[in-house]
Each structure stands twice: as structure tokens, then as C-alpha cells.
Amino acid sequence: MTVTDQQPPADDPEARTPATDPAADPAAGPAKDAARAALHDRIAADSLTTRRDYLRIVATVSGGLAVGGVAVASGVLHRHGDSEGAPEPKKVTEELPPGESIAFRYPGDEDRAVAVRLADGTLVGYSAVCTHLACAVLWRKERGEEGELYCPCHEGVFDARTGEVTAGPPPRPLPKVLLTEELDGSVWAVGTTRSGESVRDGLCRQFLDERPEMAARLRCPGAAEPEPRTERGRAT
Ligand code: FES
């Protein structure tokens, strides 16, 4: 499903997919909480999370990041990455085939975001709020070599792989939404980045206080030394 394919619900003029509509989310309620807790634990727990998980999180994210335009800079709009703490992981969709995208909200219920699976399988996520004047950014897979993110308000265009501005008036690239893919193919949003912030720095900022073991393993500034592991992957 693409952003432009989605039918807006009657109570919301913007695109929202069944996977992100709380009323239609199959993981809603206690099941959702359990799934969220399980994923959070899986990401964070020393015995279950390996460096490979970190690398996978980082590898599934590409592109630049930024705060938005005038409205964002003046504080009228919530910026992606404003939160100091780690946002709760959120299931974006059960699966995302190559060339497709899906609109969702993250980290807050008002924060428009978009996830895209590029033709080569790369998974990318961005704020869907244009950094010019905050119009909704859409995915156009038929444009360019691997599609593009497009803002129809003033013909703004962003690189699908990096989020960098390639045309039009947007002053900065799109902020990123950090995505990871589970073994069952489901796609989860696990964090965001700020303007000028690397993926690692974004993860460090969000994990330093709430997930110190994660911060330690990423060797974040200010984090404790990571504990040594035994052959079975458990800290001694
Ligand atoms: Fe997106 Fe102007 S609001 S290009």
C-alpha cells in the first residue's frame, strides 16, 4: 500500500492505515501492550539483544534529519526527536513489500510519519511533515530511480534513501524515524532523530537514561562500560 493509495477515515482528513489506526490495530489493548513490552525487552534485554540487533536497527535507517521550517522552528508544531527519552516501540505494519510505503503516527499520535521499503529491500522511515511549511509528504514510487518523497504544496522533493532535499523550497532534510524489522516481517518504529544528529547519537540520546545497557553497548558518551559477555551471551 502506498501513501497515495490510502483512504482517509471519516474522522481524520489525513491518511491513516489500518495498521496504525488504534481501532483497527490487531495488537490493540492488552495484546498491544504485551507486544510492545516484549519488543522493548527484546531490544533492551542483555541476554536477548546482541550487537547484531543494534546494527540491524542502524542498518535499516538511512538519510538525513532536520527540524522543520518556520512553523516548526517557532514551536507551533511538535518536532520529531523532541523527546529526550526513548519513545515506545510501535508496530507500523505486519509487512512492507519492496516499493511500497505506509503512513503512520510516531512517536506521538499527532506525528505523521512514513515508512518505505525501497526496491532493493532497504527500509527507511521519516517524518512525513515537510520541513518547508509542514504539508504532508507523500511517497511516489514511480519517480526517479527508486521513488521519491514528495510534498505537493510547493513541489518539494526529498531523496527516498537519505531524506535529503533534492528539489523545491524545503530548507532541511526530513527527520528520520528509526525502524527495525522483526523475524516475522513486521516493521516497528523504535526511535527518532533530530536535525544534524546521526542515528547512533539519536539512539544514545534516547537510551542513555532509560536503557543504560543499550547505551553502554553502543558506547554512548556518558554511558557505563559494557559488561563482558560469556559464550552464552550473558554478562558475567
Ligand atoms: Fe512542502 Fe512547501 S510545504 S514544499
Q: pLDDT tens digits for the chain (236 residues)?
A: 433 333 333 343 333 333 333 333 444 456 556 655 555 554 443 333 343 444 444 444 433 322 222 223 222 233 455 555 678 889 999 999 999 999 999 999 999 999 999 999 999 999 999 999 999 999 999 998 889 999 999 999 999 998 999 999 999 999 999 999 999 999 999 888 876 678 888 888 888 888 888 888 888 888 888 766 555 544 43
Q: Kindly state if the Cβ of 98 falls inside 6 Å of ligand 1.
A: no
pTM of the model as a whole: 0.63
Best mutation site among 127, 129, 140, 153 for ligand 1, i.e. most ligand atoms within 8 A of its Cβ?
Answer: 153
Ligand 1 atom showing the smallest separation from residue 135 Cα = 3
Best mutation site among 133, 140, 172 for ligand 1, i.e. most ligand atoms within 8 A of its Cβ?
Answer: 133
Q: Collapsing DSSP states into helix, strand and coil, what is residue 99?
A: coil
- Number of separate helices (H) and strands (E) present in the chain: 5, 10
The DSSP call for residue 234 is: -
Cell numbers at residue 200, please? 547512533
Q: Collapsing DSSP states into helix, strand and coil, what is residue 193?
A: coil
Tell me the CA–centroid distance for residue 164 and ligand 1, in Å.
14
Please give the helix or strand (H or E) that residue 188 lies within, else none.
strand 187-192
Cell numbers at residue 116, please? 518505505
Tell me the CA–centroid distance for residue 138 and ligand 1, in Å.
11
Ligand 1 atom showing the smallest separation from residue 131 Cα = 1
| Residue among 134, 86, 84 at smallest CA distance from 110 | 134
